[in-house]
Amino acid sequence: MSTNHHTPSFSSKVGLILATAGSAVGLGNIWKFPYVAGENGGGAFLIIYLLCVLIFGLPLLMTELFIGKRSGKSAFGAFRAIRNNSRWQWLSWLCMITAILIMGFYFVVTGWCFHYLIAAIGHVFRGADAITLTEHFQSLTGNLPVTFGYTLLAILLTAAVLWFDVNKGIERLSKILMPLLLIMMFLMAGRVLMLDGSNVGMSFFFQADFSKITPQVVLAAMGQCFFSLSIGMGALITYGAYMPKSQSISATSLQVVLLDTAVAILAGVIIFPAVFAFGVDPAEGPQLVFVVLPAIFEQMSFSWLSSILFFSLLCIAAVTSTISLMEVAVAFVTDASSHTKHPINRHKAVILVGVIIVLMAALCILSPTIFGWFDKISSCWLMPLIALAMALFVGWFINKDDILHEFGSQRGWKHHLAFVYLQIIRYFIPLAILAIFLNGLGIW
Ligand code: TRP
């Protein structure tokens, strides 16, 4: 079986950009970014985050897409195909392990979103204040069977999309939904900025207090950058494999980075003014947006419709990301087994991966500590580590001329830029990630 015929092929450039953007824009931007920024000092975090996006995000997004485009394979077969040996196979396995850890908690949060959508439809939060909303969140996460039910719903829905191969339809749908999400968020930002005391939140988010920058803040910002852009787990290798040959990797990457960062900043502009206006602690953790968002809708006109619309869009943004996560694991299982005596077909792989995710998610539901570990280990350690290896792989083990050919022309400014890119992935990124690791461990 060929490595990749079951993943969507992109007939148009727009299709690829949408799929990559759909993978990038998700709970990482709207749920995780505000709460991690809130825990790590607001403005100081934002600056480090933006620096990370610029120096790690863009070049590494290009690198991962390049590995896919060059090999035409998924995360399992890519390194092997390019090097013609299996010495880099451990990297594929690391991608698989990371995918499983991320899915463990990501599906739980997607489940929370489904719950909030249904609550919004029932207009459960009419007139609720921050205290009631905090209690609501705690009673949801404290009710294990209900949380598990919603998580299962999220897993089944994603599995169904992969089972029936309907990602292309979802992609086309996101052509309408992504702009709608942006418009909706702009409206919410506009409303929130009219609240009394919103300026406190704006300065929390935009004024950097440099004394708050610690090694932990840098580590968190780097991890958030990888997570939000879907870098360092092999998801983009699969997408790169379907890139039309004529499509520019750098232009696609730039568009995705800009969109993803814009959504994250917009989420911050919505959440922080509201946090201070409603008297919520910005360092409250994973529950932050679930306490704040419903309260924002109560301030808006058409509160019922607005909240339903927003939570629907949030659920869809989450599911376009879970699709890309689960696809990595499903493609891995089918590809890894295809040369053995017992090849596993796509449907069986969806079931197998689904069962593994259910178990991992159950662990996260039972223990918030495990939830936190899965999140930290994958974002702050595994993804940067994988990305570091990918940078070394492309920088040192692929013919330099091929890279210059992909990213630049013979001469002129494009050639210079391609040359700069090569230096960045050869030296700068590996050393910088290493330094942040050592710093985070307190060794350096
Ligand atoms: N980037 C997504 C978000 O921000 C999460 C995600 C989807 C992801 N696919 C990924 C993260 C692959 C890492 C790797 O919500």
- Atom number, ligand 1, closest to the C-alpha of residue 378: 13
| Cα angle: 98, vertex 99, 104; to 5 degrees | 100
Convert the pLDDT of each residue in 257-281 to its tens digit: 999 999 999 999 999 999 999 999 9
Mean pLDDT of all residues in 132-142: 96
Contact 192, 292 (CB under 8 A): no
321 CA to centre of ligand 1 in angstroms: 6
Domains and CATH numbers, the chain: 13-383 (1.10.4160.10)
> How would DSSP label each residue in 242-304?
TS-TTS-HHHHHHHHHHHHHHHHHHHHHHHHHHHHHTT--TT--TTHHHHHHHHHHHHSTTHH
Exposed e or buried b per residue across 350-369, where buried means at least 16 C-beta atoms within 10 angstroms of its C-beta: bebbbeebbebbbbbbeeee
Helix or strand (DSSP H, E) at 52? helix 43-52
Higher-pLDDT residue of 279 and 14 is 279
| Cα angle: 326, vertex 328, 329; to 5 degrees | 70
- Atom number, ligand 1, closest to the C-alpha of residue 260: 4
The pLDDT score that the predictor gives to residue 383 is 96
Residue 11 has pLDDT above 70, yes or no: no
Q: What proportion of the chain, given as a percentage, has pLDDT over 70?
A: 97
Convert the pLDDT of each residue in 295-341 to its tens digit: 999 888 888 999 999 999 999 999 999 999 999 999 999 999 988 99
pTM strictly above 0.85: yes
**Per-residue tokens: 289:** 């947006």
Q: What proportion of the chain, given as a percentage, has pLDDT over 90?
A: 75
- The answer for 232, left when phi > 0, alpha when psi is -120 to 50, beta otherwise, is left
Confidence of residue 440 (pLDDT cuts 50, 70, 90): confident
Among 61, 170, 324, the mutation site with the greatest number of ligand 1 atoms within 8 A of its Cβ is 324
Mean pLDDT of all residues in 197-224: 94
294 CA to centre of ligand 1 in angstroms: 24
Across 146-150, 279-283, 362-366, 401-405, least confident range: 401-405
Higher-pLDDT residue of 396 and 170 is 396
Convert the pLDDT of each residue in 328-383 to its tens digit: 999 999 999 988 999 999 999 999 999 999 999 999 999 999 999 999 999 999 99
Residue 34 has pLDDT above 80, yes or no: yes
The pLDDT score that the predictor gives to residue 233 is 95
The pLDDT score that the predictor gives to residue 111 is 98
75 CB near ligand 1 (under 6 Å): no
CA atoms within 13 A on the CB side of 169: 6
Mean pLDDT of all residues in 428-435: 96
142 CA to centre of ligand 1 in angstroms: 26
The pLDDT score that the predictor gives to residue 203 is 96
Confidence of residue 10 (pLDDT cuts 50, 70, 90): low
130 CA to centre of ligand 1 in angstroms: 29
The pLDDT score that the predictor gives to residue 1 is 35
Confidence of residue 168 (pLDDT cuts 50, 70, 90): confident
| Cα angle: 172, vertex 313, 59; to 5 degrees | 65
Among 60, 112, 158, 233, the mutation site with the greatest number of ligand 1 atoms within 8 A of its Cβ is 233
Question: How far is it, in rounded angstroms, from Cα 444 to Cα 437?
Answer: 9
Give, in order, the Cα–Cα distances in Å from 80 to each of 70, 73, 87, 315.
Answer: 12, 9, 7, 36
Total Cβ atoms within 10 A of residue 159: 20
**Per-residue tokens: 153:** 């719903």
Average pLDDT of the chain is 91
Question: How far is it, in rounded angstroms, from Cα 402 to Cα 388?
Answer: 20
The pLDDT score that the predictor gives to residue 149 is 98
The pLDDT score that the predictor gives to residue 9 is 56
- Rounded (10°) angle between helices 89-121 and 303-337: 160
170 CA to centre of ligand 1 in angstroms: 17
Mean pLDDT of all residues in 379-397: 96
The pLDDT score that the predictor gives to residue 4 is 44
Contact 259, 64 (CB under 8 A): no
300 CB burial (10 A radius; 0-12, 13-18, 19+): middle
**Per-residue tokens: 51:** 């620096």
Confidence of residue 174 (pLDDT cuts 50, 70, 90): confident
Residue 410 has pLDDT above 80, yes or no: no
Mean pLDDT of all residues in 411-417: 82
22 CA to centre of ligand 1 in angstroms: 9
Confidence of residue 6 (pLDDT cuts 50, 70, 90): very low
**Per-residue tokens: 18:** 């949408």
CA atoms within 13 A on the CB side of 179: 4
Question: How far is it, in rounded angstroms, from Cα 57 to Cα 222?
Answer: 9
268 CB near ligand 1 (under 6 Å): no
Long-range contacts of residues 33-36, Cβ cutoff 8 Å, at least 24 apart: 33/224, 33/228, 33/264, 33/267, 33/268, 34/267, 34/268, 34/271, 34/272, 34/288, 34/289, 35/284, 35/285, 35/286, 35/287, 35/288, 35/289, 36/220, 36/224
Residue 55 has pLDDT above 50, yes or no: yes
Mean pLDDT of all residues in 88-106: 96
Contact 379, 123 (CB under 8 A): no
